Structures are given as structure tokens and as C-alpha cells.
Amino acid sequence: MAKDYYETLGVGKNASQDEIKRAYKELAKKYHPDLNKNKGAEDKFKEINEAYKVLGDEKSRTHYNQFGTADFSGFQGGGAGGFDFRGFGFEDFGDIFGEMFGVGGRKRTRRGADLRYDIEITLEDVAFGAEKEIRINKLEKCSKCNGLGGTEAITCPECQGTGMQRITRRTPFGMFSTTSTCSKCNGQGSAVKHQCKNCDGTGRVEKEKTIKIRIPSGVDEGTSLRITGEGEAGEKGAPAGDLYVVIHVKKHNIFERDEFDIHTTIPISFVQAVFGDEIEVPTLDGKARLKIPAGTQSNTMFRMKEHGIRSMRGHIGDEFVKVTIQVPAKLSKKQRELLEEYAKESKDEINLQKGFWSKLKEAFE
């Protein structure tokens, strides 16, 4: 079925490319399905795109004028010059909308790349949260041209601002045209008259940047913190990507983490265990005192409330201190004498062993 594309776009048969483009943009804005939720808007939008795809390109327009139809299907078999309109939709022109509305654009508003930075922090950082400074090399918006790549914006001369390039190839079956993103403007549709020397027209320059990062308390190994907009700058003023900071917690030399609690082991002498004592124990923020009651057995666990890690919600874990009783490996003469005296005086060992053997006997009976 023959369609009047001039009528669809509301322009005269002698309209210039600029007029056609303007009419198209006007209508496309009106019927873009992201903006116009009325029934039929989407179909109308497709029609407008179809019309513009033909009239917006000098070659296909001539073709259309000559045959009075855009129904090229009849030519495909004959190889006279097939344009394939199948699957034609917003995708092809999504780029233009990126520029026009800042929505749905794919190539036009190419966002900067996301970056990843791996950071090693201490358990103390985890416990209380921390502020870190990191330095990364990344593409930043060129300050000389404000990311635009130059001054005085002009319509891209290669694609006349459509952002699309039509490549026609001669094949044994006839001429074939394919449409792709304009390589000169990268689909932007615009160029600059005076290219920025600082960034060679790319709008971006590589720079080392120092970024402050706030690490919340209670983070886990492998947690990824997203820092919005600190990735690479986008092309030609497009939004920057994000920076993902991945947390790695260094192994602590005395503490082991169990979610928000921490565990440590402290040696005490057998005398301290026997008589009891008040000892100094390390915590994540310095030292604290812990009372060891008289008669403490080896491997007894003591709990120090709220000396652990603060969760993001403000809950504070505990510190668990396990004491191990150290047996002296070397004794002075005097110590040996005293202990021998003690052994004579004491039936402890014998009683202990008696208890053990009787238990074992019970188990076998």
C-alpha cells in the first residue's frame, strides 16, 4: 500500500532536509510513547519514524519520489535496491530521542563506564566505620570544553545530524543498503567547529582523582559500595558511570570476627588462674580490664559486652575472651622446691585422675 510520507510528516514535496528533520522531531516528540500515553500514539510514532527514515535520507527519498511508494518489497527479489524495513521501530531512532528528551537514548547519551576499586581495610575500620581516600586514574570531563569536545556545535556533516550512516554495497543481487551509527559523530548527530585541543574532541581526559569514601561500620568482606557518578565521565557531556568500591577486610592478628562479635584468646599463668586476677585485654579501641575469678579453668570464655563491632543499625556486638592457662616450661630451683612441696601437700592430681577413671568405667559398664 502506498503511503504519503510527506503527508505523514506534514511537509511539502519540495521540503528541505532541515524542514523534514524539524517536522519529524516536532511530531516524534508529540507521539513518543514515553511521553504520549494516548491510544494510537505508538502506531502514529512508528508511522512518523517510517516516513522520516525514507524522507530523511536523500537516496531513499529519491527512490521514493521516483516510484511513489516506499513498499520496496517488490524490489527485493528483483534485486533492484532492497531497503529492508522489517523490524523497524524506535530502536533505530532511540538515539535521536536521547538527544531530544534525554530519555531512551542508547548511543547518543553513552554513559561513562562503571569502575571498580578494591580496598583493604582493617577490622578496626569495620568496627567503627572509617573515612578513606582513594586515588584512581579515570576519564574525567574535560574542563576546557566542559565535556563537549569543542566549541560551536554544528550538525554533523557526515550524517546531516541523523546520527545514522547508510552504507550501500553493490552485490551480485543488486545494491544493498544498511544503516549504522554514524562513525564520525558516534551517533551524536552533532559535531563541533573548533575541536578542543585539550581532549582531542573527545570531551574527556584521563586524570588521577582523589575520592573520599565513607565506609560504614559493620561492613562485610566482599561488600560493594556504590559511589554514584564517580565512574568515568560520559561521552560528550553524558552522565558519568558509578564507582564500585569492593571491601576486603585484612586478617587481624589477634581478633577473629563472628558477624558482629569478635573472639580472642589470652594466656594467663596457672597462678593467676588459681588466685584470680584482674588482667588487661586488648579491644578494638584500646585496652580494657577483665576480672579473672579464682579457680578459673583453661579455655573458659569471658564475654565483654559491647566491645565488638557496631552494625549499620547501631547494634554493638561483644568481645569474647578465652583464657588458656600456661604451664611454666622452666622452673627456678626455688620454684621447683615450692611446687614439690605443693604436690606433697596436695591430692588434687590423684583426685582428678580418680574421677576420670571412674567416669570411664561407668561408660563401659
Rule CB under 5 A: which residues touch Zn ion?
142, 144-145, 156, 158-159, 182, 184-185, 196, 198-199
Least distance CB 161 / Zn ion (angstroms)? 7
For residue 27, give the C-alpha cell: 511530531
When the beta carbons of 165 and 283 are compared against Zn ion, the nearer one is 165
When the beta carbons of 96 and 185 are compared against Zn ion, the nearer one is 185
- Pseudo-torsion of CA 309, 310, 311, 313, nearest 10°? 170
Least distance CB 197 / Zn ion (angstroms)? 8
When the beta carbons of 129 and 237 are compared against Zn ion, the nearer one is 237
For residue 115, give the C-alpha cell: 569502575
Q: How many other CB atoms sit within 10 Å of the CB of residue 266?
A: 16
Least distance CB 83 / Zn ion (angstroms)? 20
Distance of CA 183 to the CA centre of its chain: 29
Q: Give the DSSP letter of residue 293.
A: P
Q: Measured between alpha carbons, how far is 351 from 339 in angstroms, rounded to an integer?
A: 18
Least distance CB 199 / Zn ion (angstroms)? 3
When the beta carbons of 213 and 233 are compared against Zn ion, the nearer one is 233
Burial (0-12, 13-18, 19+ Cβ within 10 Å), 98: buried
> Cα angle vertex 193, ends 190, 198, to 5°?
100
When the beta carbons of 145 and 262 are compared against Zn ion, the nearer one is 145
Parallel/antiparallel/unpaired status of strands 319-326 and 261-269: parallel
Mapped onto helix, strand or coil, the DSSP state of residue 349 is: helix
For residue 247, give the C-alpha cell: 571491601
Q: Measured between alpha carbons, how far is 237 from 57 in angstroms, rounded to an integer?
A: 28
Mapped onto helix, strand or coil, the DSSP state of residue 115 is: strand
When the beta carbons of 28 and 199 are compared against Zn ion, the nearer one is 199
When the beta carbons of 61 and 310 are compared against Zn ion, the nearer one is 61
Taking Cα atoms as reference points, which of 116, 113, 97 lies closest to residue 105? 97
Least distance CB 248 / Zn ion (angstroms)? 36
Q: How many other CB atoms sit within 10 Å of the CB of residue 94?
A: 16
The phi, psi pair for 266, rounded to 5°, reads -125, 130
Least distance CB 59 / Zn ion (angstroms)? 16
Q: At what angle do helices 17-31 and 90-101 cross, to 10 degrees?
A: 90
When the beta carbons of 180 and 228 are compared against Zn ion, the nearer one is 180
When the beta carbons of 159 and 238 are compared against Zn ion, the nearer one is 159
Q: Measured between alpha carbons, how far is 314 from 194 in angstroms, rounded to an integer?
A: 56
Taking Cα atoms as reference points, which of 88, 110, 89 lies closest to residue 98? 110
When the beta carbons of 180 and 335 are compared against Zn ion, the nearer one is 180
Least distance CB 141 / Zn ion (angstroms)? 8
Least distance CB 203 / Zn ion (angstroms)? 6
Q: How many other CB atoms sit within 10 Å of the CB of residue 101?
A: 14
Least distance CB 193 / Zn ion (angstroms)? 14
Least distance CB 21 / Zn ion (angstroms)? 13
